[in-house]
Amino acid sequence: FVGVGGGNDFQWCFSQVKGAIDEDVAEADIISTVEFNYSGELLATGDKGGRVVIFQREQESKNRPHSRGEYNVYSTFQSHEPEFDYLKSLEIEEKINKIRWLPQQNAAHSLLSTNDKTIKLWKISQRDKRAEGYNLKDEDGRLRDPFRITSLRVPVLLPMDRMVEASPRRIFANAHTYHINSISVNSDHETYLSADDLRVNLWHLEITDRSFNIVDIKPANMEELTEVITAAECHPHQCNVFVYSSSKGTIRLCDMRAAALCDRQSKFFEEPEDPSSRSFFSEIISSISDVKFSHSGRYMMTRDYLSVKVWDLNMENRPVETYQVHEYLRSKLCSLYENDCIFDKFECCWNGADSAIMTGSYNNFFRMFDRNTRRDVTLEASRENSKPRAILKARKVSTGGKRKKDEISVDSLDFNKKILHTAWHPKENVIAVAATNNLYIFQDKIN
Amino acid sequence: MRYSYQRRTCAIARAKMFPKGTKRKFSDSREEPVAGGEDVNQSSLAAVRMLSSYSLQRQSLLDMSLIKLQLCHMLVEPNLCRSVLIANTVRQIQEEMTQDGTWQIMTQALSAANAAAQCSADRLVATEVLCRQTEAAQGEQVPKPFPVVGSEGCPAEEVLEEEEEAAAAEVGMTMSTVSPQAPTSYLPGTFGMDPCWEEEETGEDDDDDDEEEEEDSEECGSGSEGEERERDSLVEDTRTAEQVFGTFEIKNPAPSPDPALEELFSDVDASYYDLDTVLTGMQSVPKMGPYDLLESLSSHGPSPLSSSTSCRSDLNELDHIMEIIVGS
């Protein structure tokens, strides 16, 4: 099994599952993004209904030393509402496309959440104390009659039930003509970038009425449009460097010091196509759905339809590692094109040590790859394996004619159960997996 | 109506070209007056010779792709990435078909059918180009999105036309007509989206585009438009691409270069575009933007444009109308 360091006795166990159990899934409850904050103490999810739910990890209890702290709901708020563009008679979805946490600077927590058009900065603060014994007003808040005040007292802080409130502090609107697919906080903690299908903009966190356009791939004549931006991310350490991926399977690394408009990339990453496997679907499956820098900043990982690739930033002509996620789908591409599954955008993530990577698949399967041992495992997020601390069993999809006992055949896979969003705790072996409207949390079993 | 006759002849030509059906299918098509004559037969023989399962697969992929592009995306803007990828796939197929000659055969068959139906290829392009607003402008029944034959994966769509296969055929056929002149010009038409506001270059065109917008949002192409609109649509053909891809642009409520629009929005707070505000500021300028929409849709009650005092009282009316448009 796979894990940090890849010890032989490493296993994943079920920890928690959040969300409704019943079969009828409300569209609004479908989780559309999952993200741990920098410490891993908070876990945020966004859904199609425009809501953000933040879970907080409880302190480890002495009673149950073997089970790590559980994640419980910390705050829930409506981040985005549906809007209607009357001019074009089109709806603007409230679905949260991405959430990115800001580094914590004071007692409050801040995050950026975005739908297709508008990015919002939310501040989540908690109060668990209140002051009592004011001089000028009484407990109801009404002003006291000054003549009645005969003595002076110092207000005291008393504990109260914890109250968490989220308030929108900044709204970054009207900067994107096309649908926003990515946001990424810069390492300078002052700026962030947002990317839509054709443009990338750079914002200052304090300034909402303007942004800088740093990439624009819109052709003068829209008839010539053949490529769009699919994802973008800031480098984790170099605040002048960012990358963006395209629907043609290329990644461009740009240096903002080179020019105001980063139309000419500093580096261009593309793997030459294998002519023997060329088909009408080659371009579609090469389209990159997610790009993530490693924590070290030395590598980046891209996800296309069938594989995950790790790139060394110093080598542009091919990835250093390629992992097949579900190669058995290659012969089914026509059906997957027909039912639109071929356009599903899977995300991928690194573990804290950059030694393992994880990504989702169909049938509520998700895959993990250990970069050191080159071992991989397929696990499933399902209610059946939901007993506390139950060890997750490795799953296997049978590709040949003969199907072994515990294997599942390709044709039995449920393509409606797709795991598009996963997240790995920045420091520990805790993972969050979004399966439609349920959020599964798994952690490693300490032996 | 001449329009549906053209489509039927295209269907016949197509059926003859790829006779994968049973005898019954063949005899069905024979019931219709065959407008191709000998030419169609000769080209269809050549096509049959070229038939292979690969060609059929490729053709079905092409049909599937075109239909995906044509699907009625009513409420939410379609995914641009997906559309671009599908369009690129279509382009790839078309290039390959051009190389192995299949494309030319389709073109010939179509021309033969056209000639027989006594209409010019240009006219066919104009009327049948896959841009929904063009068809709507014709005042014709817009072929609703239809499932690909044999494809269960496509989302269920309303089927208005009986000859749904014919529509698919015609879609394929029109591409062939366009391609010799401009290989990519048909592609944007396949998106069939509402015209972008910025494409309305002159004040007088606004009426037409507004009508189209209204019709599109009604999900129904029927209207009372006449010949005038057909001529307009011919002109609009050349910029269908811009319109289609252009619809992905959201107009910020900033003043547009159009002087009529500037006047319209001059006393409106540009930072908050709200129908209420525009409505109240609009009373002096009769036909612009959604007001055509309102006028033609409102079947009862006073027009919201009658006076500023009645504007507020008619907001319920407006909500009701909006509901109709949105189709909720």
Average pLDDT of span A8-30:
87
Q: How far apart are CA A330 and CA A337, in angstroms?
A: 11
Residue with tokens 């092409």: B62
* pLDDT score recorded for residue B53: 84
In whole numbers, what is the pLDDT of chain A averaged over residues?
A: 92
Quickly count: other Cβ atoms within 10 Å of residue B277's Cβ.
15
Size of chain A in residues: 447
Q: How confident is the model at residue A123 (pLDDT cuts 50, 70, 90)?
A: very high
Residues of A in contact with B196 (CB under 8 A): 88
Give the separation between CA B276 and CA B285, rounded to whole angstroms: 15
B170 in reach of chain A (CB within 8 A): no
Q: What is the mean pLDDT of residues B89-110?
A: 85
pLDDT at residue number A166: 97
Task: Return the pLDDT at B314.
Answer: 66
Describe the crossing of helices B80-99 and B102-116 by its angle, rounded to 10 degrees.
Answer: 90
Does residue A302 contact residue A311 with C-beta atoms inside 8 Å? yes
Distance, first Cα to last Cα, chain B: 33
pLDDT one-digit tens code per residue, A37-85: 999 999 999 999 999 999 999 987 666 655 568 999 999 999 999 998 8
pLDDT in tens, A131-188: 888 888 887 888 888 888 888 999 999 999 989 999 999 999 999 999 999 999 999 9
For residue range B179-209, what is the model confidence (pLDDT) as tens digits? 333 333 333 333 433 333 333 334 344 444 4
Scanning the structure block, which residue is given the tokens 């609004």? Answer: A28
Q: Which amino acid is at A436?
A: T
Give every CB contact of residue A379 below 8 A, 6+ residues apart in sequence. Answer: A12, A365, A366, A367, A368, A392, A393, A394, A395, A442
Residue A90 is given by DSSP the state E
Binning pLDDT at 50, 70 and 90, where does residue A346 land?
A: very high
Does residue A400 have a pLDDT over 60? yes
Taking only Cα atoms into account, the Rg of chain A, rounded to an integer number of angstroms, comes to: 24
Residue type, A140: D
pLDDT tens-place string over residues A305-328: 999 999 999 999 999 999 999 999
Are B58 and A228 a contacting pair at CB < 8 A?
Answer: no
- Distance CA(B39)–CA(B27), nearest Å, equals 19
Neighbour-count burial of A390, counting CB atoms closer than 10 A to its CB (0-12 exposed, 13-18 middle, 19+ buried): middle
Q: Which of B236, B241, B134, B144 is nearest to B186 (CA)?
A: B241
Give A10's pLDDT tier (boundaries 50, 70, 90): confident
Interface test with A, best of B250, B252, B291, B323 (most A CBs within 10 A): B250
B247 in contact with A at a CB cutoff of 8 Å? Answer: yes
Q: For residue B128, which of B83, B62, B176, B86 has the smallest C-alpha distance?
A: B176
Q: Tell me, what's the pLDDT at B186?
A: 38
Question: pLDDT grade, residue A219 (50/70/90)?
Answer: very high
Tell me the mean pLDDT in the region A266-290: 94
pLDDT at A47: 97
pLDDT digits (tens, 9 = 90+) for B262-305: 555 555 444 333 333 333 333 333 333 333 333 334 444 443 33
B313 has a pLDDT exceeding 70: no
Residue A248 has pLDDT above 60, yes or no: yes
Kindly report the pTM of this predicted structure.
0.68
The size of the A-B interface in CB pairs under 8 A is 114
Contact B136, B215 (CB under 8 A): yes
* Pair B125, B134: CB distance under 8 Å: no
pLDDT value, residue B46: 61
Determine which of A184-198, A209-223, A424-438, B38-52 has the lowest per-residue pLDDT on average.
B38-52
Share of chain A above pLDDT 70, in %: 96
Model pLDDT, residue B36: 46
pLDDT, mean of residues B163-167: 39
Identify from A218, A222, A247 which residue to disrupt to test chain B contact, counting B C-beta atoms within 10 A and taking the largest count. Answer: A222
**What local confidence, expressed as pLDDT, does residue A94 receive?**
96
Does B249 sit within 8 Å of A284, measured CB to CB? Answer: no
Mean of the pLDDT values across residues A383-406? 85
Chain B hits for A171, CB-CB cut-off 8 Å, are none
Give the pLDDT of residue B41.
Answer: 66
pLDDT of residue A386: 86
The shortest CB-CB distance from B246 to any of A92, A222, A334 is to: A222
Q: What is the mean pLDDT of chain B?
A: 51
Confidence of residue B258 (pLDDT cuts 50, 70, 90): low
Q: Give yes or no for residue A111 having a pLDDT over 60.
A: yes
B85/A87 touch (CB, cutoff 8 Å), yes or no: no
Does A394 score more than 80 pLDDT? yes
Q: What is the structure's pLDDT at B275?
A: 37
DSSP per-residue codes, A311-329: EETT--SS-SEEEES-GGG
Q: Is the pLDDT of residue B116 over 50?
A: yes
- Residue A86: list chain B partners with CB under 8 A: 273, 275, 290, 322
